[in-house]
Amino acid sequence: MTFRHTSYAEIMTQRGEIMRASVGIDYDRYRIGRIAFDYEGLMRDTGYGLAQVTEIQRRTAVGDTPLVELRNITALARRCAGPGKGARIFVKDEAANPSGSFKDRRASLSIHEAKRRGYQGVAAATSGNYGAAVASQAAKAGLRCILLQEAFDSQGLAQPEIAEKTRACEAYGAEVIRLSVGPELFAVFLQVLKETGFFNASLYSPYSILGIETLGYELAEQTRTLTGRDPDMVIVTHAGGGNITGTARGLFKAGAAGTRLVAASVDLAGLHMASDRDFNRKSFTTGHTGFAMPFTTWPDRADVPFNAARPLRYMDRFVTLSQGEVFYATQLLAVLEGMERGPAGNTSLAAAFAIAQELDEEQIIVVQETEYTGAGKHPFAQLNLARCLGIDVRRGDPRGGRPGERILIPERPEQLAATEVKLEPLRRSYIRHALEQLPAGAELGEADLAFLSAETRTTTAHVKEIIDEMPRTDR
């Protein structure tokens, strides 16, 4: 498909109009303050309840994935732990979905809504599993599909996992537009939406998040069936925030209010996601801090006015893992449990292995997802590219790794450790970003303060305290 050339500046001025037409949501009606919006109203007004979403997903074979106890990995964790420690570890095997990941849940409701509204096709900007999920669901619905990928650097070198996804998307009949790393991705996406009139199957719309709620609900129900109790902890690989948001909301709807939600990301500190140099040096396309940190501290940097993924509302704890630890966990799952799965879910598995050793043996941890693996997603492909780029890859203490320069694969399972990310600095960063949205001289109202307290899971008094402590230039 060819498109009329429109300058970056020109297409960006049309952003609001294009988004309203392509998502079918008037976001302005939910604004209730200077920065506050009616989040629950936005979610509720889609008209989809949990039972209806479940039925829609069953029609396209999405969901009802198995919950698997990782007995051998649990036994290994107990050998590394102190007496009486080592929680039971389970994993929700989302690779059983049609395109091989939990992203089918995210795509399913968006595609259903596009079909219901009479759109002729769908479009999405994604370099990972979501593109394959959108393409798969669009094929089932008989809709056309265009996907945009930030696929390679200025030298034409493609990230192997992204190349794997290009193949998968095209296999489902989608048209894939591949771009080099840079700011033009969003501008081209807007151009596609404008000229095709397709539905924007955004990762950050309410439809996407509602689709993940079924995962959290199933997870709670299956844990009760297998163990007679709720999980003590669910560990969720965290990038843009939709995964932990939807899972948490589903757990709440299942009545599992006491389950703790832990976000886990690969530590890519020092690498810039929009850098041409760093693009192929990260070895992970999702589940890393390059997305997790900015989206946690300001979720509305998305392609829709109000992001339905609000991670700080839901996480009880946030941890990071090194690149080497995630590659090690991938191999553990394969050789001990006979499950060869991709890196995204194994970020949470690496965290679960370490955190299980803090908990008592009778407690239960659930790793919230797996994803399929393939030639481009396999650790060997990523590590081979890393070596070609001059990155030092070897065995050693993973704490000595440095993203983009050195990947150290653990020598022993005892070396896996989850590094804590303190939530209070993230809350403060979120509030600072919120204040930056205010017009000069504007003040926050009561609705804004209540919104910020809900967003950061603190009190209004604490929000005011944080604001008062900030330098005047940040307010």
What is the maximal distance between C-alpha atoms in the chain? 67
> Can you tell me the distance from the alpha carbon of 321 to that of 437, in angstroms, rounded to the nearest whole number?
32
Burial code (b: 16+ CB inside 10 Å, e: under 16) for 384-421 equals ebbeeeebebeebebeebbbbebbbbbeebebbbbeeb
Cβ neighbour number for residue 468 with a 10 Å cutoff: 8
Q: Which residue has the tokens 């939910």?
A: 30
> Can you tell me the distance from the alpha carbon of 11 to that of 381, in angstroms, rounded to the nearest whole number?
37
pTM over 0.85: yes
Residue 133 has φ and ψ, to the nearest 5°, of -65, -45
Q: What is the dihedral of CA 298, 301, 305, 308, to 10 degrees?
A: -60
pLDDT of residue 46: 96
CA 245-326-67 angle, to 5 degrees, is 55
> Can you tell me the distance from the alpha carbon of 415 to that of 420, in angstroms, rounded to the nearest whole number?
15
pLDDT of residue 474: 59
> Can you tell me the distance from the alpha carbon of 317 to that of 233, in angstroms, rounded to the nearest whole number?
10
Residues paired with 404 in a beta bridge: none
pLDDT of residue 266: 97
> Can you tell me the distance from the alpha carbon of 348 to that of 369, in angstroms, rounded to the nearest whole number?
8
Q: What is the dihedral of CA 397, 399, 402, 404, to 10 degrees?
A: 70
pLDDT of residue 6: 74
For residue 448, CA distances in Å to 136, 309, 463, 467, 471 come to 40, 18, 10, 12, 20
Select from 178, 168, 108 the least CA-distant residue to 143: 108
Cα dihedral sign for 386, 124, 64, 213?
positive
* 3-class DSSP string for the chain: CCCCCCCHHHHHHCHHHHHHHHHCCCHHHHECCCCCECHHHHHHCCCCCHHHHHHHHHHCCCCCCCEEECHHHHHHHHHHCCCCECCEEEEECHHHCCCCCCHHHHHHHHHHHHHHHCCCEEEEECCCHHHHHHHHHHHHHCCEEEEEEEEECCCCCECHHHHHHHHHHHHCCCEEEEEECCCHHHHHHHHHHHHHCCEECCCCCHHHHHHHHHHHHHHHHHHHHHHCCCCCEEEEECCCCHHHHHHHHHHHHCCCCCCEEEEEEECCCCCCCCCCCCHHHCCCCCCEHHHHHHHHHCCCCCCCCCCCCCHHHCCCEEEEECHHHHHHHHHHHHHHHCCCCCHHHHHHHHHHHHHHCCCECCCEEEECCCCCCCCCCCHHHHHHHHHHCCCEEEECCHHHCECCCEEEECCCHHHCCCEECCHHHHHHHHHHHHHHCCCCCCCCCHHHHHHHHHHHCCCHHHHHHHHHHCCHHHC
pLDDT of residue 473: 59
For residue 164, CA distances in Å to 44, 412, 465 come to 36, 30, 48
> Can you tell me the distance from the alpha carbon of 210 to that of 249, in angstroms, rounded to the nearest whole number?
8
The one-digit pLDDT tens for each residue of the chain (475 residues) are 566 667 777 888 888 888 888 999 999 999 999 999 999 999 999 999 999 999 999 999 999 999 999 999 999 999 999 999 999 999 999 999 999 999 999 999 999 999 999 999 999 998 889 999 999 999 999 999 999 999 988 889 988 999 999 999 999 999 999 998 877 888 899 999 999 999 999 999 999 999 999 999 999 999 999 999 999 999 999 999 999 999 999 999 999 999 999 999 999 999 998 888 999 999 988 899 999 999 999 999 988 999 999 999 999 999 999 999 999 999 999 999 999 999 999 999 999 999 999 999 999 999 999 999 988 888 999 999 999 999 999 999 999 999 999 999 999 999 999 999 999 999 999 999 999 999 888 889 999 999 999 999 999 999 999 999 988 655 5
Instruction: Please count the residues of the chain.
Output: 475
pLDDT of residue 7: 77
All domains of the chain, ordered by start, with CATH? 56-96+207-420 (3.40.50.1100), 423-474 (no CATH)
